[in-house]
Structure 1
Amino acid sequence: MSSTPPSGDELLAMLAALANPHRLRIVAALAGKRNYVSQLARELQMSRPLLHIHAQRLEEAGLISASLELSKDGKAMKYLELTSFEIVLSAAAIAAAVPTLSTDAKEKK
């Protein structure tokens, strides 16, 4: 993400994605390094399917990115890494984000 503050919809997506202990653990495990799904699942003692579900939510929110790479033996490996993001949560930041909420997000309030 860029250094500009997130829109209301982006802020909602990021906060919703982070409002889960599994996803917080994934973000913490990826802080400062990228990792491939199988290794990350082992480190977090989580099944790969569960990791995929949570990683997808984090990726949709723009908090992580994924890339496929081939290993030396020709196996496809999915790597995950954090994107550059910063969430500033203050009354002023929320007030600035609210006017940019889409109609759908406003109706869910």
Structure 2
Amino acid sequence: MARTPAPAPSGDELLKVLAALGNPHRLRIVAALHQGRNYVSRLAREIGMSRPLLHMHLQRLEAAGLITGSLELSADGKAMKFYEVVSFRYELTPELIAEVARTLGDGDGEPEGEPPGKDKARTGKPETVKEEAT
């Protein structure tokens, strides 16, 4: 039976994945989780990272859809969050990049094709218009 290829990600989805994997700590986390599911405290010890920093990286990876987390109770009733890698495969080609680029917004918060106001381009805030008294 032939396997149906997965649909191409949107431009924003691809950027989220590439940003998540563009960090050496997150690559190490994915590599460690590839060995099997793990809970936060043990994973932090195994890769030599503080739990708060690990949590931040795990959130980024989970938001990108590369890992998934589930809360479970241990035998003594302690809540433990386990993470595991989600099966994924991305084949980056010029054709894929051209396809997903068409789905990207301008990145400035304005609808596609709308130029930002002068002030917004400089400060990131919308332009304010003052009326002169006549």
TM-score (norm 2): 0.73
Rg larger in 1 or in 2? 2
For 1:55, the aligned partner's letter is: L
> Is 1:5 aligned with 2:8?
yes
> Is 1:57 aligned with 2:42?
no
Say which structure is richer in helix.
1
Q: Which runs of 5+ in 1 are unaligned?
A: none
Q: Give runs of ≥4 in structure 1 deviating > 2 Å.
A: 102-107
User: Within 2, Cα distance between the matches of 1:43 and 1:18?
Assistant: 19
> Is 1:80 aligned with 2:64?
no
Name 2:50's counterpart in structure 1: 47
User: Within 1, Cα distance between the matches of 2:42 and 2:6?
Assistant: 31
After TM superposition, give the deviation of residue 94 of structure 1 in Å: 0.5
**What RMSD, in angstroms, separates the aligned Cα atoms of the two structures?**
1.8
3-state SS in 1 of match to 2:77: coil
Percent of aligned positions with the same letter in both sequences?
Answer: 62
Name 1:90's counterpart in structure 2: 93
User: Within 2, Cα distance between the matches of 1:24 and 1:8?
Assistant: 21
Q: Which runs of 5+ in 2 are unaligned?
A: 116-134
